[in-house]
Amino acid sequence: MFDRISEARIREEKRLEEERLAQAIVDAIPVPERFHTNELSFIRPLGFKDKTFHVFTLTDVGPSPLSVVIGRTSIEGDKDLEYLSQLLLADLKKALSHLEWVEPLFPVEVAGVEGRRVEFKWRQQGTPVHQLQFIFLHYDEHRHPVLMQITGTSNHSGGMTAEEKAAFHLLVETLELRFYSKFRSVGRSEMSAAARLNDPIEHTGSLTGLLAGLAIGAIGAALVVGTGGLAAVAIVGAFAATGAGVGQLIGSLSCCNHQTGQILSGSSNVYINGEPAARAHADQAKCDEHSSTPQVIAQGSSNVYINGHPAARVGDCTACDAKIVVGSSSVFIGGGTETTDPINPEVPELLTRGILLVGLASAFVLVSPVIVIAGLVGGIAGGTVGSLGGAQLFGEGTDGQKLMAFGGALLGGGLGAKGGKWFDTRYDIKVQDVGSNLGNLKITPKGATKVSNIAESEAALGRASQARADLPQSKELKVKNCFIQ
């Protein structure tokens, strides 16, 4: 009976194992994506090449004033988007007559992936043609890379009209991929809007906030203390430095930003949305807070150049530390930041250092140096952690990052000061000759110093008593009532 039960169990386990293996084989065979053509979809056999284009026109018969063509080209080998973009430009130069670049090749986002945009004019048998083209890399249902090209063409003698551009951009901005692309996505958060002539600049309220906080802190401390002396001066200095720091923080928040001018110049032959493109070092901005002379644009993209100069973008600074705040709604430029000219900080560095020195000097007068140093180290550590965390949660340079950095510095400084106070109540630090622990510093428990002093006193008393006992006793010399303390 038990043998039959065992055999049945073995047969069932074998059957389950066979089913598992069969399912694993099925799972290992990838199900091919279906190829889509308008209302149809099907499995495209390997080797069948797609030679189709999607063509959209405004007319049924005859030439259309605006047309849009969507094409795809299979890519062989490991070629990146930048290489293919430069290859496209070279082909356009060879194939088109009287070619004129309206906008250079710009990095953009298309359908959630990294793309390029180029705008140009040329002549087809004497007829002017104005074209906008977006390209990006994707892959087909067999996971083979393809270069996608979306081209808008206008035959108007004056170029593509505003209405035609709006219709074309609506099509491009609503593009979605059927499935996730393996090619790196470059979101607009990683790119910045291109800057143009007349785009505004703005300053923060950091300097105003710092000066206001400095004054309020000093006045408040003076009213609280109301007496003279070194301690009173130190308290006023500490309050003033703290008020300055808080005021500078508040002034740097976006709610305190204010427009102070606009970009004054741009490229003579490169246009973005019909406006001259702004360039670092080559172009200037008018700033109401520095009305005497125009301020050069001091920053731009590190890998996108216009007329040999870094392309300026939203977030880039002028020489007076004002930031460009508005740019193109459709052209975005990536890359790092290249600083071409010196930038004078909104808050002068000497002023910042002076306030820091006043704050530290006041702290050294009011509390132990150990507490000051521990608080300073804790504040720096806490501020660094808060800044990094704020950048991850809210983004670099955001209000959230600034507030988290301030909160981290406040918390870290407070904990550091508490640790310094604990240490200061339990240990003594003495400066000695080089060779003691920690170089020329000697750290000893405060209780040990008292015990050592008592022991030394008792030893001295013992030696004095012994000396008295050893004195010679005679009639001529008697010691009476000799007490040694």
Q: How many residues does the chain have?
A: 485
pLDDT tens-digit map of 410-456: 677 677 667 767 777 777 777 665 554 545 667 777 665 555 555 55
Tokens of 398: 């955001």
- Measure the CA–CA gap between 176 and 270, rounded to whole angstroms: 30
pLDDT tens-digit map of 266-325: 998 888 888 899 999 999 999 988 767 899 999 998 878 888 899 999 989 999 888 999
Q: Give yes or no for a contact between 129 and 121, defined as CB atoms under 8 angstroms apart.
A: yes
Question: What is the pLDDT of the chain when averaged over all its residues?
Answer: 74
Determine the pLDDT at residue 188: 43
- Measure the CA–CA gap between 392 and 406, rounded to whole angstroms: 16
**pLDDT above 60 for 157:** yes
How do 40-42 and 35-37 pair as beta strands? antiparallel
Query: Which amino acid appears at position 159 of this protein?
Result: G
Among 91, 99, 88, CA closest to 124: 99
Determine the pLDDT at residue 480: 45
Token pair 């430029």 is at which residue?
Answer: 333
Determine the pLDDT at residue 339: 93
What's the predicted TM-score (pTM) here? 0.45
Backbone angles phi, psi at 339, to 5 degrees: -95, 115
Q: Hey, which bits of 208-348 come out as E strands?
A: 258-263, 271-272, 275-276, 284-287, 295-296, 299-301, 305-306, 309-310, 323-324, 332-333, 337-339
Determine the pLDDT at residue 481: 46
Determine the pLDDT at residue 11: 79
Among 133, 102, 159, CA closest to 277: 102
Rg, Å, the chain Cα set = 39
